[in-house]
Amino acid sequence: MNKDFRLLFFCILWILFFNNQAMGQTDEKENLKTTCEKEEKEKTDEKAETKEVTNPCEKKQEEKEKNSEEIKEEPPKVGNFALPTSQQPAALFGFGGNILDKDEVQLYLFADYFSGKKRVNSDIIPSVLFGVTNEFSIYFNFPVNPYLRDGKNRSSGIEDFFIQFEYAFYNKSTAFYVDEATIVANITAPTGSTKKNPPTGFGAPSVFIGGTFYHTMVDWFAFTSHGAILMSSNGGTRIGDQFLYQFGFGRNIPSTTDRIYAWMLEIDGQYNKKN
């Protein structure tokens, strides 16, 4: 009896020992799992907090840029600013000032006629102007001389084709005026003839480079431009380089908001070096 009782007692102790050990291992696993979940949650919370801190900064920067664009000063849309830049007053005979908005295209047909003592010069120039960007344009010109006279000699025909590039490197806008400065360059191809008398071309490629400056207000505007045509030689003959200097100013004539009327005084000068 006592022997059986002792055996039963040891069996109960043995069972309790292994149950406690198993429960301890289970508790360790549960604690480890809880710790891992807690660390993972803390990492997720840190990422969320970082995102919440970053987003307000980005949002504030976007709002700042948006407000900066909104408060950009511009003259009122009246007077010389009643129409887009491409339709505002500019030089009539002078070069440059041909900046368009991006992807805008304009077609021109220019004609002139000068008559003097035994001299007549006339031109018809179809042109295509294309705005590559808001600051850069390309200008294609196809001049034709319908009638040219020098004494008893007369001629006519195609003149030298040229392509012009213009870039607005400076632009300042306020509530009262707009300033713009551009650099102009063009290349002329010798499509005219030097064998005709008078000649309808220079007979050699040439390069032009110059600059312009425009100051435009609601009522008044002024501009100046200066440049040089640098000639190359052809068969031992070299046409002299030419230097251009131009100036003009004018004033808006009050009219409806969808039109611009203005008077303008323009002075164009040219100095030719000897051939």
- 94: pLDDT strictly greater than 60: yes
Contact of 206 with 188, CB cutoff 8 Å: yes
| pLDDT value of position 87 | 83
Report if residue 45 sits inside a domain.
Answer: no
Question: Which pLDDT belongs to residue 116?
Answer: 84
Handedness of CA 10, 12, 13, 17 (dihedral sign): positive
- pTM for this structure? 0.68
> Two tokens at 135?
């600051």
pLDDT tens per residue across span 11-34? 555 555 445 454 445 555 555 556
**pLDDT value of position 54:** 47
Average pLDDT for residues 163-168, to the nearest whole number? Answer: 96
Q: Which of the two residues, 36 and 127, has the higher pLDDT score?
A: 127
Instruction: Note whether residue 237 is domain-resident.
Output: yes
Q: Summarize pLDDT for 42-86 with one digit per residue, the tens.
A: 666 665 555 444 455 555 566 655 554 445 688 888 888 888 887
Q: pLDDT (tens digit, 9 = 90+) per residue, 136-152?
A: 999 999 999 999 998 88
Q: Residue 118: what pLDDT?
A: 84
Q: Is residue 20 part of a domain?
A: no
The torsion defined by the Cα of 24, 26, 32 and 37, in degrees rounded to 10, comes to -140
What does the pLDDT read at residue 51?
Answer: 47
In a domain, 71, yes or no: no
Q: What is the pLDDT of residue 138?
A: 97
Instruction: Residue 144: name the closest of 131, 161, 129 by CA.
Output: 161
Range of the domain at 259: 79-272
Indicate whether 9 belongs to any domain. Answer: no
Reported as a single tens digit per residue, the pLDDT across 110-135 is 898 988 888 899 999 999 999 999 99
pLDDT at 197 over 80: yes
What is the number of structural domains in the chain? 1
Domain membership of residue 257 (yes or no) is yes
Using 50, 70 and 90 to split pLDDT, how confident is the model at 258? confident
Determine, yes or no, domain membership for 180.
yes
- Asked whether residue 115 is assigned to any structural domain, the reply reads yes
Predicted pLDDT of residue 85: 81
